[in-house]
Structure 1
């Protein structure tokens, strides 16, 4: 008798071994994930099934199936299926106990299981990440008792919420006896899909194994056909099977099982015919039931099938048995599932127009009847009503799904349902009554949800429509819309926020005092603050504080005091600023939004003041709360950067780097991720990996420059990073162009952020002097380096009030001292080293200053002193992972000579010449040795003849040579 499916798994031995190896690692206490990709029909489900059958009885297997409802996939659908299975396995009470302190969030996910389960707090208080924590806690605690294997199939259909949760589980669970197995169709990864964007991150995770299933070769197709037929196939027929299926196992199985390879003429002609071959052999009643099941999806519960089917229970069982015997359906727990999704798709295409309407209507009605008791998601009901072309019911279900998704922080689904409701609005006469809100309100709410889902561009489009429909006479609503649009623009780095907020204030003019007006004033103050317009920001914050006081609103008073405090502090009035920030902290107690804003600005202030340990502690407290509240990608991203930056300043490079990589994985909007990206580029450059720093910067440069137009901190931070990259490439002119923002006559001083840029500008200026290069002012007109130095020192004077200024000032003085102001005075560099070691300066300044001291000593001929300073620089740099300085020290030691000799030795060797001469002078000496005149040297090096003459004079003086010929002789000897 011929088999209806292949009795053996062919060509997947290595893939099965990979799964077993991953399970063994998980059993040993190291969480693993296996990602199985391949085209439709390649055998992903079969491979997973074979693996699961081989597991020991102690393993708990949880399976979830992504729903193929396109954009209407219910949020968390495959995860909920797995959790419900777990509840059946361990008991509902044990499931909730395993969730620990997050049981309220688990109750939000599984409301149908909460009957009789006391939930003390409202589940909405934690945000989306609290839901994530609940699932992670459950899996970790259950896995501590028995190993767990979580299988989620067809990830290409997965809803965004489930994908985000899976990403979280894979990232945070490390030491549990948990194996996560995910399957997806690699040929259905559309551009812009969440899974496609996630794959590179998973590939970088050392706990994730990627398995890509290949097609079978001819030998393997023969092996499969033989196993099905119980005898080897005819070679001509085998050739036809191999040609028509191209080695895709499911198609091989269908073709051989259905045709028996008895006659080439009997082979189905098309892929559709192959998929429907078994279906076509069934009775009409069985086919009709399969079409009904296909309308419900890949998997339909028996109870639901009974509800939507007109047939008797006996007829249903008979039809199902026939389909199961033909291997079209399989039994999956209490449900019927198609053996392969491709078959379901082909059968669904067979639905007649009348059947499509009837079947989807029945599903919608039955799911609606069950929704109260069984946790049915309204998105599925909306999907079926849409498929049934019932606009009114689809609108009602979409509104319900929108509200349901918002309540569970499933913002992507809420946005989809909100937009669908908006699209259907004009087709439903009593839409406002059914929705319980006006169209303007729905547009506003949906735009907010889109913003939370990371779709700020789409949010702006909807808020614009709401503004166009809103009556300006409704001052409160109109002003709120303007305020929201200002926020969305800022999130994605677009201008216009200040103008919109000022317009909102005009709209509210003459209205009674209100929380909204306090809000608008506070937000306007915040925007002015980040533009370093501190006096204006303080004035607006004063107004916001007065308004909030009048309406007795502590959170808005906190925000106003917060912005006023940071503006005062950033402008130089540090004591008053800290006092205002402290008041903001007191007023924020009991309001998470205000507390998060307090933590952001307080931690930033402490970091900028050089109080790094306090900054880390404050920002960590805030970042944890942001994670709990579900705003890890917005406020949480800023707070994480406020943890990472002082960690680097403390020299805790490894810890900072690990946190930075995790924070970047959140892929926060540019308004929140820009500081993280700048930190990453600078950290990589500090590490000495110029090439990687350049690649990162090229990828992020556009968004960083866009953000720099809206934020002075971003502008100054970008100028520093991009200037340092240009300097590392040896492009001094380009580096100066980047830092010349300092000498823009229109710029506003921001001392804390100015100081690092001023120090670097001094470095660039000194380097330009060494090479005799001409630089330009902000107006692009050539300026003398002496004039530019005056402007740099003017910027330093404006920043002198800042606590970290002494350390930077010492470095700036050293950069601009020495002969011709080229930064070669050892005494001043020793002073810079001392200043950089006072504990308030960032850790990177000391090794840099020590290296520059070594260079200055070498330039003065003190080789022994240079070697000692270089070794100090190396030790300090290695301690904080500053490979850039380590590499520079290595090069300097090569030039100076690592051991032996002192500054009195004759300068006739290469090391001595390299130590004595600048890079430009070495180039000039090489040309002198070739017999070139000063004029010819000038032509070769694109400098003036006078400059070439000065270089030659310096060479003769430094080497002790009396003639050009003697200098050329020294050069020739040093090259041997």
Structure 2
């Protein structure tokens, strides 16, 4: 029996260099992460150990170990180890100072530290993301002083809370001297594994390197055996080692070390025999202690071992020493750990039934006695009581663990413990007394944490059980259950919320005025508003406001005023709507939830009426508050979409694109990410990448279609991008089917979203006339283009009062102009160009209308004019990143010839020709040029935008051949004589 492992690292030089390269990048200030995967025994930990051994002395190394307790891994277990090590390294005071304003959230994780008690005297605000921010702040601030290497091992066992935190750290920490190294067993990632779902995101992250460790080949196995034996092995025996281990380094080491490759008769026959070879050679007392340690997990603190072991301290030390000498255990700071988790698993399988009950009972009792019932890790205690088959104690521990995990925002762990308590409920006689709540309340509370854990389907199943158990005369509880189920359904894009909320109102009928009734009325108003049922929404919002006023609840008054205001505005009463929204903001002061809802709807309203810069500022303020409050993935995602939309409207495409990609990385539930996904498809299309836009829409269409059943904005905006994509493919009939939602009898007017779709419908009609494509009417039968145009014009007339209507109406007129109604009238496109230069028109309309004007001029035979406007369109499109328009311009220029006017390089025309060359508007502009007015002054004089004035000046110079404004003024002066 040899007590050594391979003295050299074999077959991993490239992987080791990759780790050193990642460290060099991180030490230079660019955060990196390395994911080390491979099957059990492949050498992940050995590789990491070798890497850490060679790091500079100033590097802070923090190691965390995921815990293998089936589904009961304690929340944040590896993170707790890391933070405690960091507290020892930098000092407790410095640790909390580095966590910034979220130190109270961090203190929840570290109740054993002396400063924690004073920091958590008041309830901790926020949610998991606030805790994540605290940990990120700590790591970034410490890494500003010294490089930090954070290692988390065995990620395949990691609890959901830790995984969520690690995902956050990898995503948000970009410019810091931090290297994160994660190891996991790639052969243990099941279909439902959360880590498996995370891997594609990691693979897309340019700051993440993924290493997949391969098995050793025969030459490398020989090299390892030679290093262990300090000499070459027998080739026949080496062949047996290679055959039985298949090149897995840990098994190679165990087989070579145990047999010495001296005799084939000494080879263990099975994998189990290989894993237990060292264990089998130890004394009975040592084996018994190893079985006891195995019941506690991969790593057990010495103090805990003393508490659960009935041997004397000397006997424990003797057994531990033998196990360490035999290379079964290693010392890990103040704990004992198995040299490899596979060995622990094999030894744990040796436990007799009686030993399992006794050992796990001892661990449960020791954890409670060692830390106190209130401080013990409830999930670990619950695990041990379950393994010991003590149902009553397991129930008590599960309820305690539920409370602990919920308080630290570890919602997945809380849900697991809550569901266990529910399963055990009927097996415990006094369950309600022990739990301190009814079963209905436990079902409700567990469904709530399931929803927060992203498991809305399971949340709905539990709340259905709660509704079935709840007595109908328990009015407040029953109505609350209905209200919450409505919320859960909406989160996953399922219908039924409105009916549930109406049922809750019936249940509450006749009850005294209450906050709950105000809440139900407000949420019903919100659902109706999203469906563009604005009149009904206002009625419900009025009721919610009256109810909230009666119970003096300002947050609910704010929500009611908010929904009423947006409904009024969306329905066309803009000033009254904005006033209601402003009131909502005033009433929301001091309540984050109501204030976030105010920021969402106010920023959206400002964007829709064309006040883009105000919309950006308002949404940014709300998004920052959402981040601070820890709801970045929910309300924060909506607010980010409300920042991004007006940025696109302003033409700030690069900034919008960057923010959009970062917002999508939050991986928010579909109820919050739908606008972001729709915008991404549209942004990719506008950039000119039609193939990628098609792929994204194909991948996301299912969840988007589901969500749009309860969101009229999404219905209309998704129809817009789907229609644009179909038209880009040349599928005119398909494009019409998308935009025809406007003509659906069930369609409710929503002018802000109707107008862009009306303009696209007009464009599709023009394209259908050009190609002779038959289009279906409302009944599905082929309908004449003239009849469909009348329907489009009717929708246009309904939306005329909206602020952006003049710009879109000018486009509609141009799209349907010309002799055949195919959009070929240059004069109408000139009017459209001028109309879209209004500051409240989205920036993308300017290059589009300029391009269409160029097309119309080319069609009319004015090649010079077509080239000029094509160039203007190209410049405007390139300035805001509209590759789709640039590509169209390129194709048009190919057809009409190179850029340039017919007078370019020639002498200026004489004064007598000016009247024939210029339009009436251009003659007005030329007259003002002659009076010395600037472009801005011309714009003010003629009530047009400065950009439009600039375009007119450029046209005048082109048509007259003048090279300067002075020369053009001279020509104007002569023409007037």
Question: What do residues 476-497 of structure 1 show as CA deviations (whole Å, max 9, x unaligned)?
Answer: 1111111111111111111111
Shift of 1:266: 1.8
Which residue does 2:712 correspond to in 1? 712
Which residue does 1:967 correspond to in 2? none
Question: What do residues 608-658 of structure 1 show as CA deviations (whole Å, max 9, x unaligned)?
Answer: 111111111111111122222222222111111111111111111111111
Which residue does 1:438 correspond to in 2? 438
Alignment of 1:474-485 (within 5 A): 474-485=474-485
Which residue does 1:774 correspond to in 2? 774
Contact 1:526 1:537 (C-alpha < 8 Å) held by counterparts: yes
Which residue does 1:626 correspond to in 2? 626
Contact 1:548 1:556 (C-alpha < 8 Å) held by counterparts: yes
Which residue does 2:39 correspond to in 1? 39
Contact 1:2 1:230 (C-alpha < 8 Å) held by counterparts: no
Question: What do residues 895-926 of structure 1 show as CA deviations (whole Å, max 9, x unaligned)?
Answer: 111146869xxxxxxxxxxxxxxxxxxxxxxx
Contact 1:59 1:149 (C-alpha < 8 Å) held by counterparts: yes
Contact 2:871 2:899 (C-alpha < 8 Å) held by counterparts: no
Distance in 1 between residues matched to 2:902 and 2:424, nearest whole Å? 86
Which residue does 1:365 correspond to in 2? 365
Shift of 1:121: 6.9
Closer, same or farther: CA 693–165 of 1 in aligned 2, 3 Å: same
Shift of 1:666: 1.8
Which residue does 2:602 correspond to in 1? 602
Counterpart secondary structure, 2:151: strand
Shift of 1:445: 1.0
RMSD: 1.4
Question: What do residues 410-442 of structure 1 show as CA deviations (whole Å, max 9, x unaligned)?
Answer: 111111111111111101111111111101111
Contact 2:126 2:631 (C-alpha < 8 Å) held by counterparts: no
Which residue does 1:239 correspond to in 2? 239
Closer, same or farther: CA 662–39 of 1 in aligned 2, 3 Å: same
Which residue does 1:262 correspond to in 2? 262
Distance in 2 between residues matched to 1:564 and 1:11, nearest whole Å? 68
1:877 maps onto 2:877 in alignment: yes
Which residue does 1:133 correspond to in 2? 133
Which residue does 2:822 correspond to in 1? 822
Distance in 1 between residues matched to 2:513 and 2:394, nearest whole Å? 42
1:428 maps onto 2:418 in alignment: no
Shift of 1:745: 2.1
Closer, same or farther: CA 683–751 of 1 in aligned 2, 3 Å: same
Counterpart secondary structure, 1:624: helix
Alignment of 1:175-194 (within 5 A): 175-194=175-194
Distance in 2 between residues matched to 1:613 and 1:204, nearest whole Å? 33
Counterpart secondary structure, 2:701: helix
Distance in 2 between residues matched to 1:309 and 1:24, nearest whole Å? 46
Contact 1:518 1:548 (C-alpha < 8 Å) held by counterparts: yes
Which residue does 2:168 correspond to in 1? 168
List runs of 5+ in structure 2 lacking aligned partners: 904-977
Question: What do residues 774-827 of structure 1 show as CA deviations (whole Å, max 9, x unaligned)?
Answer: 111121011111111111111111111111111111111110101210011111
Alignment of 1:359-758 (within 5 A): 359-372=359-372, 376-758=376-758
Shift of 1:373: 9.5
Which residue does 1:145 correspond to in 2? 145
Contact 2:2 2:258 (C-alpha < 8 Å) held by counterparts: no
Shift of 1:470: 0.6
Q: TM-score, normalised by structure 1?
A: 0.91
Shift of 1:686: 0.6
Distance in 2 between residues matched to 1:586 and 1:329, nearest whole Å? 63
List runs of 5+ in structure 1 lacking aligned partners: 904-976
Counterpart secondary structure, 2:86: helix
Counterpart secondary structure, 1:71: coil
Question: What do residues 569-624 of structure 1 show as CA deviations (whole Å, max 9, x unaligned)?
Answer: 00000011011001100101111111111111111101111111111111111112
Shift of 1:858: 0.9
Shift of 1:355: 0.5
Question: What do residues 357-386 of structure 1 show as CA deviations (whole Å, max 9, x unaligned)?
Answer: 111111111111233499542111111111
Alignment of 1:305-384 (within 5 A): 305-372=305-372, 376-384=376-384
Closer, same or farther: CA 356–2 of 1 in aligned 2, 3 Å: closer
Alignment of 1:761-910 (within 5 A): 761-899=761-899
Which residue does 1:284 correspond to in 2? 284
Shift of 1:289: 0.6
Which residue does 1:950 correspond to in 2? none
Shift of 1:156: 0.8
Contact 1:2 1:229 (C-alpha < 8 Å) held by counterparts: no
Distance in 2 between residues matched to 1:124 and 1:683, nearest whole Å? 39
Which residue does 2:909 correspond to in 1? none
Distance in 1 between residues matched to 2:625 and 2:392, nearest whole Å? 42
Contact 2:868 2:899 (C-alpha < 8 Å) held by counterparts: no
Question: What do residues 187-206 of structure 1 show as CA deviations (whole Å, max 9, x unaligned)?
Answer: 11111211111111111112
Distance in 1 between residues matched to 2:117 and 2:410, nearest whole Å? 24
Distance in 1 between residues matched to 2:179 and 2:744, nearest whole Å? 58
Instruction: Count residues in correspondence.
Output: 903
Closer, same or farther: CA 855–617 of 1 in aligned 2, 3 Å: same
Contact 2:402 2:414 (C-alpha < 8 Å) held by counterparts: yes
Counterpart secondary structure, 1:545: helix
Shift of 1:126: 2.8
Question: What do residues 747-799 of structure 1 show as CA deviations (whole Å, max 9, x unaligned)?
Answer: 11000110111111111011001011111112101111111111111111111
Distance in 1 between residues matched to 2:338 and 2:27, nearest whole Å? 32
Moved more, 675-684 or 627-636: 627-636
Shift of 1:2: 5.3
Shift of 1:502: 0.7
Shift of 1:24: 1.3
Which residue does 1:17 correspond to in 2? 17
Which residue does 2:216 correspond to in 1? 216
Which residue does 2:961 correspond to in 1? none
Counterpart secondary structure, 1:631: coil
Shift of 1:120: 7.7
Contact 1:107 1:123 (C-alpha < 8 Å) held by counterparts: no
Distance in 2 between residues matched to 1:576 and 1:687, nearest whole Å? 38
Contact 2:368 2:381 (C-alpha < 8 Å) held by counterparts: yes
Which residue does 2:157 correspond to in 1? 157
Distance in 1 between residues matched to 2:653 and 2:142, nearest whole Å? 36
1:294 maps onto 2:277 in alignment: no
Question: What do residues 856-895 of structure 1 show as CA deviations (whole Å, max 9, x unaligned)?
Answer: 1111111111111111111111111111111111111111
Which residue does 1:964 correspond to in 2? none
Counterpart secondary structure, 1:495: coil
Distance in 1 between residues matched to 2:493 and 2:22, nearest whole Å? 43
Shift of 1:707: 1.2
Distance in 2 between residues matched to 1:715 and 1:56, nearest whole Å? 57
Alignment of 1:956-971 (within 5 A): none
Distance in 2 between residues matched to 1:728 and 1:900, nearest whole Å? 28
Question: What do residues 487-533 of structure 1 show as CA deviations (whole Å, max 9, x unaligned)?
Answer: 11111111111111111111111111111111111111111111111
Shift of 1:300: 0.5
Distance in 1 between residues matched to 2:313 and 2:848, nearest whole Å? 82
Question: What do residues 441-464 of structure 1 show as CA deviations (whole Å, max 9, x unaligned)?
Answer: 111111111111111111110111
Shift of 1:108: 1.3
Which residue does 2:86 correspond to in 1? 86
Contact 1:110 1:375 (C-alpha < 8 Å) held by counterparts: no
Shift of 1:543: 0.6
Distance in 2 between residues matched to 1:53 and 1:18, nearest whole Å? 15
Moved more, 662-671 or 729-738: 662-671
